[in-house]
Amino acid sequence: MLIGLVGRPNAGKSTFFKAATLADVLIASYPFATIKPNHGMAYVKIPDLAQEFGKQSNPREGYVKGKWRFVPFELMDVAGLVEGASQGKGLGNEFLNDLAAADAFIHVVDMSGETDGEGKPSQNYYSGKDIHIIEKELDLWYKGILLKAWKVFARTAEMQKKNLAEAISQQFSGLKVKIDDIKSVILKCDLNPEKPSLWSEEDIAKFSRLLRQKTKPMIIAANKMDRLNSKKNYDKVKSEFNYPIIPCFAEGELALREADKNGLIDYIPGEKKFEIKKTLTDKQKQALDDINKILEEYGGTGIQDILNKAIFDLLEYLAIFPAGSKLSDSKGNILPDCYLMPPKSTALDFAFRLHSDIGKNFVKAIDVRTKRAVGKDYQLKHLDGFEIMTK
Ligand SMILES: Nc1nc2c(ncn2[C@@H]2O[C@H](COP(=O)(O)OP(=O)(O)OP(=O)(O)O)[C@@H](O)[C@H]2O)c(=O)[nH]1
Ligand SMILES: [Mg+2]
């Protein structure tokens, strides 16, 4: 699973990325600082299941902090997107393809109004414009992919009575577009799949838009909430758009995570409080005081909340623990693994995820909490723990 950070230049994508991954990437106050995509591990935050048994887990990947477990997934930061990108403006079309493999987007929007759609200094710029621009460019990107082969496959789809949805899905291979997504969008648009040559330009545009919305769901990180006019922009954007929109302070989160890493403070990502552990300089104190004001106003920096919402609400993934009666593996590590499973996964899917032999020899799964057995069709619930019994 891959989540992509999108947005126009200077919005704070790389700052968000660095705060979430602590990877060393370039952050700069000029547009197009990022050119090549950055990939790194970010984490969702879930309650540590071991706590329910009076223990603390020892993750093989990710980490535990307090009663929370942080489970890794891949996050990607790309170049800024400007109006006309789908036609080659800015860094153009090529980098749009960097976004192809993403399952969902976090759209980082600068709420300060201090930089414009191209990332240049401005005053009272309305942040909602960025959302329209990014939507439009993503839609045009999808439409371009579709149009590239449209005439040919609209004709062959008719002549051979070949399934149109299949032809379209081939065109979108690599974009995480499922055939069922295409079928449901054709239905929703009320278009005739048997006569694609009759689809108008407008039909194709609408189809592209709905397909993009379905296959690249988006959450909005309303960034730079520490700035003077951000609240005003945020309220307006919230009333205009239907997306999940979360106030965000990427720069604050980055400072907190770095201070925590350096032992200056104790900070659990997503909390609205931190604890000072060392004697600080006046400058450090002032910086933390400023951050604290935003934490109090918005209940946190928003970064962790956005990551969790992208994975668990937008994509409806489930965090599942392989958990035997002893909780630990042969080396004594408690609950070393935790898997992020796609929505509607079953006990059998989970067994296959652990190992194909475990899947093939599945007999039953034992719930670590209730000790009850379930069969292969059991639909997993978020935060379940199961031991798979095999032949
Ligand atoms: N005030 C404030 N500034 C921020 C925040 N997040 C990022 N910035 C600043 O915004 C500027 C741009 O940040 P980047 O993270 O490089 O932005 P980007 O979206 O990656 O930009 P490109 O790579 O050029 O597309 C930098 O000067 C950051 O310090 C924030 O939460 N508050
Ligand atoms: Mg950047």
The per-residue pLDDT for range 360-390, each reduced to its tens digit, is: 999 999 999 999 999 999 999 999 999 999 9
- Residue with the smallest CA separation from ligand 1 atom 27 is 29
CA distances in angstroms from 311 to 44, 208, 318, listed in the order given: 8, 24, 8
- Residue owning tokens 């970010």: 42
Q: What is the mean pLDDT of residues 23-44?
A: 92
Q: What is the pLDDT of residue 313?
A: 97
Dist. CA 346 → ligand 1 center (Å): 41
Q: How far apart are the first and last CA of the chain?
A: 31
Atom number of ligand 1 nearest to Cα 249: 31
* Single pTM value for the model: 0.95
Binned at pLDDT 50, 70 and 90, residue 88 comes out as: confident
Cα 334 to averaged position of ligand 2 atoms, centre (Å): 38
Residue 243 in contact with ligand 1 by CB distance below 6 A? no
- Is residue 339 packed enough to be buried (19+ CB in 10 Å), middle (13-18) or exposed (0-12)? middle
Contact 223 CB / ligand 1 (< 6 Å): yes
Asked whether the predicted pLDDT for residue 5 surpasses 70, the reply is yes
Q: Is the pLDDT of residue 191 over 90?
A: no
Q: At 94, is the pLDDT very low, low, confident or very high (cuts 50, 70, 90)?
A: confident
How high is the mean pLDDT of the chain?
93
Higher-scoring residue by pLDDT: 110, 156: 110
Ligand of minimum distance to the alpha carbon of 253:
1
Ligand 1 probe mutation, 24, 27, 76, most atoms within 8 A of CB: 27
Confidence at 162, pLDDT banded by 50, 70, 90: low
